[in-house]
A and B are shown apart, each in its own frame.
Chain A
Amino acid sequence: MRFFFKTDYVQDIRLFRDKVDTFWYALLGLAVIALPLVLIALEEDYFIGEITWVFIYGICGLSLMVLVGFTGLVSLGHAAFLGIGAYAHAYFIQHGVPFSGAIVLAIIITTLAGILVGLPALRMTGIYLAIATLAFAIIIQEVFSRWESVTHGFAGMPVEKATVLGFSFEDDTAFYYLCLFFLVLALWLTKNLLRSPTGRAWIAIRDSEIAAQSMGVNLALYKTMAFAYSAGLMGMAGALFAHKIAYLAPDIFTVILSIQLLLLVIVGGLGSLHGAIFGAIFVALLPPTIAILRDYLPEAISRQPGLEAGIFGLILVLVILFEPLGIYGRWMKIKLYFSMFPMYKRATFKRQKSYMKSERLR
């Protein structure tokens, strides 16, 4: 068991809590950097591409975590932002804009789209907001298929491999590092916001709008900011997504994808950055895992259509029933179990009985 002795206010605003944490994160960083080399040595290069998906979905997860997990606004339309980012990036690349310029433009455009959606969404919460964002996503998908001069409609739009400052990221391993870079950047920026007044204002809005307002938080402004920032991150993910998938078509950015992205943060664990990453690992690695398992399953099961969706759904239901805090919540418990061993008590995470809270003021 480890105790944290705080001796300085700075300890609470550091990126990592203490030396021990810094050590573990550094080790994790090294492992992630070394992983492609190990996979190449093992001749399992295929997995490099699969893990790249974890990074891209990780950025998507951060985007939704800010909106859903920290600000408490539900969106069922985030695939639209991913699509706007992907198409915008691909369009600019096609028109000769270099990678760095194109991705910045893609982020700016999705951010503006986020503000546009955020503004009317200010007066809505819960299910109404979910429906409004859903409608937005459907409209945008229609735009993708109709606006042929930009998106080439259902004919599709090929995206060439990324080239940054003359260096080609054609190789899977190189692209892996590019996506890793953007994920770390997104994590750092988001963590910065969360340890600043803006992040606290988002959390405050999530937990009590009336109190947040009385403490000086401009609800309209901060909700719009959450939408804008979330959309901007989605735009960043979209640019990488475009290169990764290599061919854009309107039927990629469906409502199903939006729902999958929302489930990503729920399974990962709402309200923590770890949750976004855990969720991304889950969503990105479940299909290849099932593909491998298929070989070992009896034929009657492995041949079933919809096996993947079924398992995804099953895991989701189990998570919501037994671990509302998602994979991150389970991870915390396992960590505590080992650090307290053999004195772990099951009741540690049992919530103390809460008193009744009246809704009258709302």
Chain B
Amino acid sequence: MTFFKADGLAINFGGIKAVDGVTFEVKKGEIFTIIGPNGAGKTTIFNLVSRIYEASEGKLVFEDRDITRTPPHQIAKLGIARTFQNIELFEHATLLQNLLLARHAHKKSGFFGELLFTPGVRKMELEHREAVEKVIDFLDIQQYRDTYIVNLPYGVRKVTELARALCTDPKLLLLDEPSSGLNVEETADMAFWIQDIKNLLGVTVLMVEHDMSLVSAVSDRVLALNYGRMLAQGTAQEVQTHPEVVRAYLGG
């Protein structure tokens, strides 16, 4: 069975080939990391996978299902969740509301039931709340539950993004630079959480990351990218020492 596969993925913006024939496969249960210099096309790959961008070429497969043309709002329901590099939280809502929204893909209530707030809707709401509370406990953010996002410090927002993605009950989790903007201590926490997500929750992780110590610590396999093209694939050690990768980072 193919868990996740990108096959010959490509997209152009005007003249720029932001992603150009990228092929990789993520196996169930691993942590797969994409690295590359700024503008390499890493975030664009995430946007292609979450179907915000339309691929001009190539194919996306998730659990043997072709998702190249799936509408973006159905991606979460299939079991793919993501975080955003530039934090896209619902700022004028509380942390709790942000996490509850992530249960949207599991919503079963209809409009008229909600309009009357029937006992069925109430029960569903409590079930969503229980699922959300598990994630809150897992990431230790109880004290911020009722705080509005605008009033949260950057580090907590980063964790909230992770929490929100987890609340969708994903099978595949896309993390776009989980450590960017975090201090050393927070980055270490993040590394533990990512490992726990894989080991305790059994979620497969596809990650974009610049911090090479974090990459080496958690990744099973690494893909290096430059100008939208694949440079190398292998373990963190192999990729880091690959001559083409070294050249790309040194700007040669």
B40 at the interface (CB under 8 A from A): no
We find that the number of chain B residues with CB closer than 8 angstroms to chain A is 52
Chain B residues near A225 (CB, 8 Å)? Answer: 111
Please determine whether A197 and B90 come into contact, CB atoms closer than 8 angstroms: no
Chain B residue with the shortest CB-CB distance to A210: B88
Asked if A152 is at the interface of the complex by the 8 Å CB criterion, the answer is: no
Chain A CB within 8 A of B56 CB: no
- Contact between A213 and B72 (Cβ–Cβ < 8 Å)? yes
From residue A236, how far is it (CB to closest CB) to chain B in Å?
Answer: 13
**Docked-complex contact A352 and B86, CB < 8 angstroms:** no
Please judge, given known A-B contacts A9-B130, A189-B115, whether A207 and B74 are in contact too, CB under 8 Å: no
Name the residue of chain A whose CB is nearest to the CB of B105. A216
Question: Per a CB cutoff under 8 Å, which of B71, B73, B125 touches A195?
Answer: B125
Judge if B192 is at the interface, Cβ distance under 8 Å. no
Assuming A192-B114, A192-B115, is B76 touching A216 (CB within 8 A)?
yes
Are A9 and B129 in touch, CB under 8 angstroms? Answer: yes
The yes or no answer to B50 lying at the interface (CB within 8 A) is: yes
Specify which chain A residues have a CB less than 8 angstroms from the CB of B117 in the assembled complex. 192, 195-196
Q: Are B125 and A13 in contact (CB under 8 A)?
A: yes
In the complex, which range does the number of interface residues on chain A fall in?
A: 35 or more
Binding-face segment, B29-37, B96-104, B241-249: B96-104
> Does B84 belong to the interface (CB within 8 Å)?
yes
At the interface with chain B, which of A58-66, A312-320, A354-362?
A354-362
Most chain A CB within a 10 A radius of its CB, from B77, B85, B117, B154: B117
Interface string of A172-215 (1 = CB under 8 A from B): 00000000000000000100110111111101101110111111
Q: How far is the CA of A203 from the CA of B96 in the complex (A)?
A: 13
Known: A197-B104, A214-B50, A360-B86. A12 touches B129 (CB 8 A): yes
Query: In the complex, what residues of A have CB within 8 A of residue B71's CB?
Result: 218
Asked if B116 is an interface residue, CB under 8 A from chain A, the answer is yes
Nearest chain A CB to B159's CB is how many angstroms away? 15
Output the residue of B101, B117, B126, B181 with the most chain A CB within 10 A. B101
Asked if A211 meets B103 with Cβ closer than 8 Å, knowing A197-B114, A216-B73, A354-B150, the reply is: no
Q: Is the CB of B109 within 8 A of A196?
A: yes
Question: Nearest Cβ distance between residue A3 and chain B, in whole angstroms?
Answer: 12
CB distance from A17 to the nearest CB of B (A): 11
State in angstroms the CA–CA spacing of A167 and B151 once bound together. 53
Most buried by B among A197, A212, A214, A358: A214
Check if A271 is an interface residue, CB within 8 A of chain B.
yes
CB–CB A214/B91 < 8 A: no
A12 to B117, CA, bound (A): 14
Cβ-neighbour of A214 out of B81, B150, B153, B154 (below 8 A): B81
- Chain A 286-305 residues near chain B, CB threshold 8 A: none
Closest to A72 in B: B92
- Give residues of chain B (62-85) contacting chain A, Cβ–Cβ below 8 Å: 71-77, 81-82, 84-85
Residues of A with C-beta under 8 A to B86: 357-358, 360-361
CB pair B101 A201 closer than 8 Å: yes
Q: At the interface, yes or no: A351 with Cβ under 8 Å from chain B?
A: yes
> Once the chains bind, are A201 and B104 in contact (CB under 8 Å)?
yes
A193 contacts B115, C-beta separation under 8 Å: yes
Contact for B90 among A193, A196, A198, A207, CB less than 8 A = A207
Per-residue B-contact encoding for A43-80, CB less than 8 Å = 1, 0 else: 00000000000000000000000000000000000000
CB of B216 closer than 8 Å to a CB of A:
no
Q: Give Cα A215 to B74, complex, Å.
A: 9
Q: Does A10 contact B (CB under 8 A)?
A: yes
Given contacts A198-B114, A216-B73, contact A9 B126 (CB under 8 A): yes
**Are the CB atoms of A214 and B125 closer together than 8 Å?**
no
Say whether A361 contacts B47, CB under 8 Å: yes
Closest chain-B Cβ to A68's Cβ sits at a distance in Å of: 13
Partner of B101, one of A210, A212, A352: A212
Known: A9-B130, A13-B125. A208 touches B76 (CB 8 A): no
Residue of A nearest to B106 (CB): A216
Q: Among A198, A200, A360, which residue has its beta carbon within 8 angstroms of that of B111?
A: A198
Across the interface, A216 reaches (CB within 8 A) one of B88, B92, B104, B154, namely B104
> Does any Cβ of B come within 8 Å of A131's Cβ?
no
Of chain A, the residue at the smallest CB distance from B174 is A214
A351/B89 in contact, CB under 8 A? no
| A104 to B: closest C-beta gap in Å | 14
A132, CB-defined interface residue at 8 Å: no
Check B154–A355 contact: CB distance below 8 A.
yes
Chain A residues within 8 Å of B96, by CB: 12
Q: Is A217 part of the binding interface, using a Cβ–Cβ cutoff of 8 Å?
A: yes
Q: Which of B75, B76, B92, B97 contacts A200 (CB 8 A)?
A: B97
Q: Which 4 A-B pairs have the closest CB atoms?
A: A216-B105, A216-B76, A196-B114, A207-B90
14 additional contacts, CB 8 Å, given A204-B101, A207-B90, A216-B73? A9-B129, A13-B122, A195-B125, A203-B93, A208-B90, A210-B88, A212-B90, A214-B72, A215-B101, A216-B74, A216-B75, A216-B168, A352-B150, A354-B150
The contact sample of 26 A-B pairs, CB cut-off 8 A, is A12-B129, A13-B122, A13-B125, A189-B115, A189-B116, A192-B116, A195-B125, A197-B104, A198-B114, A203-B90, A204-B90, A204-B104, A207-B89, A208-B90, A211-B89, A213-B52, A214-B72, A215-B102, A215-B105, A218-B73, A219-B73, A352-B150, A352-B151, A355-B154, A357-B86, A361-B43
